[in-house]
Amino acid sequence: MGLLSEGSPLSWEETKKWCDHVRKHGVQQFIHQWNKLKDTCKPELKWGDEVEYMLVAFKHEEEEAKLLLKAGPVLDALQEMEKTKPDDHPTTWRPEYAAYMVEGTPGKPYGGLLAHFNNVEANMRLRREEVIKLLNKNETALSLTAFPRTGCLNFSEPPHKATPEAGPKEGASRSLFYPDEVIFQGHPRFKTLTRNIRHRRKEKVIINIPVFKDTKTKEPFIEDFSVLGDDGEAARAAKPDHIYMDCMGFGMGCSCLQMTFQACNIAEARSLYDQLTPLTPIFLALSAASPIHRGFLSDIDCRWNIISSSVDCRTREERGLEPLKENKFRIQKSRYASTDSYLSPCGEKYNDIELVMDKDIYKTLINAGIDHLLAQHIAHLFIRDPVALFSEKIHQSDTDETDHFENLQSTNWQTMRFKPPPPNSGIGWRVEFRPVEVQLTDFENAAFVVFIVLMTRVILSFNLDFLIPISKVDENMETSQKKDAAVNGKFWFKKDPFTRETPPECATKCKNRCRTVSECMEDEYRLMTADEIINGSADFPGLVELINMYLDNNIECDVDTRCTILQYVKLIKARASGELKTTAKWMRDFVTSHPDYKQDSIVSEKINYDLIKLADQITRGEKECPELIFCHNTRSTDNIPRAMEKSEEQLISKKKMSKSNGVDV
Ligand code: ADP
Ligand code: MG
Ligand code: MG
Ligand code: MG
Ligand code: MG
pLDDT tens digits, 564-581: 999 999 999 999 999 999
Name the nearest CA neighbour of 412 among 30, 78, 7, 44: 30
Residues forming beta bridges with residue 288, ordered by sequence position: none
pLDDT value at 633 more than 70: yes
pLDDT in tens, 160-206: 999 999 988 999 999 999 999 999 999 999 999 999 999 999 999 99
Ligand 2: centre distance to CA 431 (Å): 10
DSSP 141: E
pLDDT in tens, 369-421: 999 999 999 999 999 999 999 999 999 999 999 999 999 999 999 999 999 99
Identify the pLDDT of residue 582.
98
pLDDT value at 635 more than 90: no
Name the nearest CA neighbour of 264 among 45, 104, 95, 482: 45
Ligand 5: centre distance to CA 96 (Å): 6
What residue's CA is closest to ligand 1, atom 15?
Answer: 48
Other residues' Cβ atoms within 10 Å of the Cβ of residue 642:
12
What residue's CA is closest to ligand 1, atom 2?
Answer: 1
Identify the pLDDT of residue 542.
98
Of all helices (H) and strands (E), which one includes residue 102? strand 101-106
What residue's CA is closest to ligand 1, atom 21?
Answer: 109
What residue's CA is closest to ligand 1, atom 26?
Answer: 47
Residue 121 CB contacts under 8 Å (≥ 6 apart), including other chains: 442, 443, 445, 446, 564, 634, 636
C-alpha distances in Å from residue 201, one per residue of 11, 139, 207, 309: 14, 38, 14, 12
In contact, 415 and 339? CB cutoff 8 Å: yes
pLDDT in tens, 204-250: 999 999 999 999 999 999 999 999 999 999 999 999 999 999 999 99
How far is residue 441's CA from residue 633's CA, in Å, rounded to a whole number?
13
In contact, 315 and 323? CB cutoff 8 Å: no
For the chain, the 3-state helix, strand and coil shares in percent, each to the nearest 5, are: 45, 15, 45
pLDDT in tens, 9-40: 999 999 999 999 999 999 999 999 999 999 99
Show the ligand 1 pocket: residues with CB < 6 angstroms: 1-2, 46-50, 94, 105-106, 109, 258, 260-262, 427-428, 430, 432
Identify the pLDDT of residue 333.
98
Please report which confidence band the pLDDT of residue 506 belongs to, taking 50, 70 and 90 as the band edges. very low
DSSP codes, 34-96: HHHHTT----S--EEEEEEEEEEEEETTTTEEEEE--HHHHHHHHTHHHHH-TT--SEEEEE-
pLDDT in tens, 256-308: 999 999 999 999 999 999 999 999 999 999 999 999 999 999 999 999 999 99
Ligand 4: centre distance to CA 152 (Å): 28
How far is residue 467's CA from residue 464's CA, in Å, rounded to a whole number?
9
DSSP 492: E
In contact, 252 and 242? CB cutoff 8 Å: no
What residue's CA is closest to ligand 1, atom 7?
Answer: 1
Name the nearest CA neighbour of 128 among 78, 84, 82, 81: 78
How far is residue 139's CA from residue 223's CA, in Å, rounded to a whole number?
33
HSE-CB at 67 with a 13 A cutoff on CA atoms is 36
Ligand 5: centre distance to CA 105 (Å): 13
pLDDT in tens, 112-134: 888 899 999 999 999 999 999 99
Instruction: Name the average pLDDT for the chain.
Output: 93
Residue 67, Cβ density class (10 Å: 0-12 exposed, 13-18 middle, ≥19 buried):
buried
Q: Where are the domains of the chain?
A: 156-252
Nearest-5° angle of CA 560, CA 118, CA 437?
A: 130
Identify the pLDDT of residue 113.
87
Ligand 4: centre distance to CA 598 (Å): 40
In contact, 46 and 262? CB cutoff 8 Å: yes
In contact, 243 and 285? CB cutoff 8 Å: no
Ligand 2: centre distance to CA 286 (Å): 20
Please report which confidence band the pLDDT of residue 336 belongs to, taking 50, 70 and 90 as the band edges. very high
What residue's CA is closest to ligand 1, atom 9?
Answer: 50
What is the atom index within ligand 1 of the atom nearest the CA of 94?
7
**Nearest ligand to the C-alpha atom of residue 253:** 5
Residue 501 CB contacts under 8 Å (≥ 6 apart), including other chains: 346, 465, 509
Ligand 3: centre distance to CA 96 (Å): 6
What residue's CA is closest to ligand 1, atom 11?
Answer: 48
The preferred substitution site among 260, 408, 418 for testing ligand 1, maximizing ligand atoms within 8 Å of CB, is: 260
The ipTM assigned to this model is 0.98
What is the atom index within ligand 1 of the atom nearest the CA of 417?
4
Please report which confidence band the pLDDT of residue 81 belongs to, taking 50, 70 and 90 as the band edges. confident
C-alpha distances in Å from residue 505, one per residue of 95, 208, 501: 48, 46, 7
Percent of the chain with pLDDT over 70: 92
pLDDT in tens, 432-474: 999 999 999 999 999 999 999 999 999 999 999 999 999 999 9
pLDDT value at 652 more than 70: no
DSSP codes, 537-590: BTTB--HHHHHHHHHHT-TT--HHHHHHHHHHHHHHHHHHHTSS--HHHHHHHH
What is the atom index within ligand 1 of the atom nearest the CA of 3?
3
In contact, 571 and 265? CB cutoff 8 Å: no
The preferred substitution site among 44, 50, 53, 265 for testing ligand 1, maximizing ligand atoms within 8 Å of CB, is: 50
Ligand 2: centre distance to CA 345 (Å): 26
What is the atom index within ligand 1 of the atom nearest the CA of 419?
3
- Rounded mean pLDDT, 145-157: 98
Identify the pLDDT of residue 1.
39
Ligand 2: centre distance to CA 367 (Å): 31
pLDDT value at 648 more than 60: no
pLDDT value at 642 more than 60: no
Ligand 2: centre distance to CA 102 (Å): 13
In contact, 261 and 453? CB cutoff 8 Å: yes
**Nearest ligand to the C-alpha atom of residue 410:** 1
Helices (H), 264-386: 266-276, 280-287, 304-310, 359-367, 372-381
In contact, 607 and 597? CB cutoff 8 Å: yes
- In degrees and rounded to multiples of 5, residue 578 shows phi and psi of 90, 0
pLDDT value at 615 more than 70: yes
In contact, 393 and 415? CB cutoff 8 Å: no
583-592 and 605-619 are packed helices; what angle lies between their axes, rounded to 10 degrees?
A: 140
Question: Residues 301-313, buried b or exposed e (16+ Cβ, 10 A)?
Answer: bbbbbbbbbbbbb
Identify the pLDDT of residue 641.
47
Please report which confidence band the pLDDT of residue 640 belongs to, taking 50, 70 and 90 as the band edges. very low
What residue's CA is closest to ligand 1, atom 20?
Answer: 109
